[in-house]
Amino acid sequence: MDMSCSIKLSFKKQMLRTREDAIVRTVHRLLCEKGFDAMTVDEVAAGVGIAKASLYKHFPSKEDLAAAAMVGVMRQAQAFVKAVPAELAPLDKLRRVTRWTLELQLAGDMPTLPSHNSSLRAVLMASKDYMDGLLEVSDVLGGWIEQAQSAGQINPQLPAIAVLYTLFARACDPVLEFLKLGGQHTDAQIADMVLGTCFDGLNARS
Amino acid sequence: MDMSCSIKLSFKKQMLRTREDAIVRTVHRLLCEKGFDAMTVDEVAAGVGIAKASLYKHFPSKEDLAAAAMVGVMRQAQAFVKAVPAELAPLDKLRRVTRWTLELQLAGDMPTLPSHNSSLRAVLMASKDYMDGLLEVSDVLGGWIEQAQSAGQINPQLPAIAVLYTLFARACDPVLEFLKLGGQHTDAQIADMVLGTCFDGLNARS
DNA sequence: GTCTATAATCAGATAGAC
DNA sequence: GTCTATCTGATTATAGAC
């Protein structure tokens, strides 16, 4: 008897979800194109094709808009990490994930956030979805790092956390952008150089 | 006969110079503490102890304030590079300069600018003092890089410009900040780790 | 050149009708 | 939930007296 009602509700929910997906996609695109600071809420509204006030019915602040987009990025990362072939050596797993972040940036598909914005950090850290993803990715990578160190593939004298941060930092490495602007190398060459520098260093191998 | 006049002028100029030095010092401090975006012109005026309108008699814009501070940083860099002992191996010269930038950051003495701000970039690139310093530092480092590559100390397969960018990027490496926040290591240890990772890579040496 | 006071602008967020 | 219209606060920059 109330089937029509439940169908209506589900339909409404689906519409809501679709609308919010459209918002998040626009936010993601703008974060990739110009970064958090340069992105305005007006632009987001215009990009989605709705009024700014409507945006605020879905997300309470600009920071929450960005956080929603970052949850999507983190989900992508979780999916990629899970799909890394288990039979690879730990070092090769780390290289694959790192290369993936480099390629995302080179393709213009990596959002850039200001690392010193405290209100943004607060919202990100208050997001359970984001933090769960970040922690899971960190755990998996951390395990690979320790395995690689035990196997003598990664310098065992480095604290694992330092290795983890160094890999995370590749996801916003300004070297990529500068080399790309130079126009002297293909994206693949740039990725190879930065990946090589990260793992092998600048020194010539002895 | 007009000696008193020329003395007065010189005195005035000296006062002007002193005042502008005070402004630049305050700007430098605020750029180190909070970065360009978070720094407001009101804060600069309050820090110097003068009215905001007076600031604008000395510098035409916020960007020019930052540029003046960056000229000072660039002069420091030029002086440091010049003082590197000529008898060192090229690789060791590069390591010294890189370590110096790491220590500046760890000491909280490195200004942070938003790399995507176009108006700021325009003002910086229009500053002859800044660009001259940047070019000279780049030239000297570039020479050392090529020497180190010829001597087989730095990977000769890497384009020199990629090496240069990689070293410049250490001057704003977020890994330093994260490791410092962790509180598990001293500044010296952090500098050692990042310097080692930069030149030797994450891999265990074969 | 320095000040007080104010302009001008921009962007995040909200009120209230529908 | 969506809209138009507006508020609010922050911030860069300037006018004009002294």
Q: Residue A118, CB, less than 7 Å from strand D?
A: no
Which of A202, A203, A205, A206 to mutate to test binding with chain B, by most B CBs within 10 Å of its CB?
A202
Nearest by CB to residue A175, choosing from B155, B169, B193, is B169
B105 within domain boundaries: yes
Domains contained in chain A, number: 1
Return the CA Rg of chain A: 20
Residue nearest to nucleotide D4 (CA to C1'): A51
Q: Residue A52: its pLDDT value, please?
A: 98
Tell me which residue in A34, A177, A182 faces B161 most closely, judged by beta carbons.
A182
Average pLDDT of chain B to the nearest whole number: 95
Q: Is the CB of B46 under 7 A from strand C?
A: no
Does the residue B106 lie in any domain? yes
Question: How far apart are the C-alpha atoms of A182 and A177, rounded to whole Å?
Answer: 9
Instruction: Write the residue in A155, A174, A197 that is nearest to B115 by C-beta.
Output: A174
Mean pLDDT of all residues in chain A? 95
pLDDT at A206: 61
Q: What is the pLDDT of residue A204?
A: 87
The CATH number of the domain holding residue A139 is 1.10.357.10
> Region A88-105: what's the mean pLDDT?
98
In a domain, A18, yes or no: no
Judge whether A66 lies within some domain. Answer: yes
What gap in Å lies between CA B169 and CA B176, rounded to an integer? 12
Q: Is B121 inside any structural domain?
A: yes
Regarding pTM above 0.75, the answer is yes
Instruction: Supply the pLDDT for residue A16.
Output: 86
Instruction: Specify if B27 maps to a domain.
Output: no
pLDDT category at A60 given cuts 50, 70, 90 is very high
Q: Which of A7-11, B117-121, B134-138 has the lowest mean pLDDT?
A: A7-11
pLDDT in tens, B12-28: 888 888 999 999 999 99
Give me the half-sphere count of Cα atoms (radius 13 Å) on the Cβ side of residue A162.
26
Alpha helices in chain B, H assignment, sequence order: 3-38, 41-48, 52-58, 62-83, 90-106, 118-126, 128-150, 160-169, 174-182, 187-200
What is the spatial distance between Cα B113 and Cα A41, in angstroms, rounded to a whole number? 23
Residue A54 lies in a domain: no
> Which of chain B's residues 58-117 bind strand D, using a 7 Å CB cutoff?
60-63
Q: Let me know if residue A138 belongs to a domain.
A: yes
Question: Has residue A94 got a pLDDT over 90?
Answer: yes
Could you check: is the Cβ of residue A51 within 7 Å of any atom of nucleic acid strand D?
yes
Q: Is B114 in Cβ contact with A116 (below 8 Å)?
A: no
Is residue A195 within 8 Å of residue A102, measured between CB atoms? yes
The confidence score (pLDDT) of residue B50 equals: 97
Q: What is the pLDDT of residues B73-126, one digit of tens each?
A: 999 999 999 999 999 999 999 999 999 999 999 999 999 999 999 999 999 999
Check A155 against B202: CB less than 8 A apart.
yes
For residue A110, the SS3 value is coil
Q: Is the CB of A57 under 7 A from strand D?
A: yes
Residue of B nearest to A158 (CA): B193
Nearest CA in chain B to A115: B174
Parent domain of A180: 61-200
pLDDT digits (tens, 9 = 90+) for A39-57: 999 999 999 999 999 999 9
Q: What is the pLDDT of residues A111-142, one digit of tens each?
A: 999 999 999 999 999 999 999 999 999 999 99
Nucleotides of C under 7 A from a protein CB: 1-5, 10-16
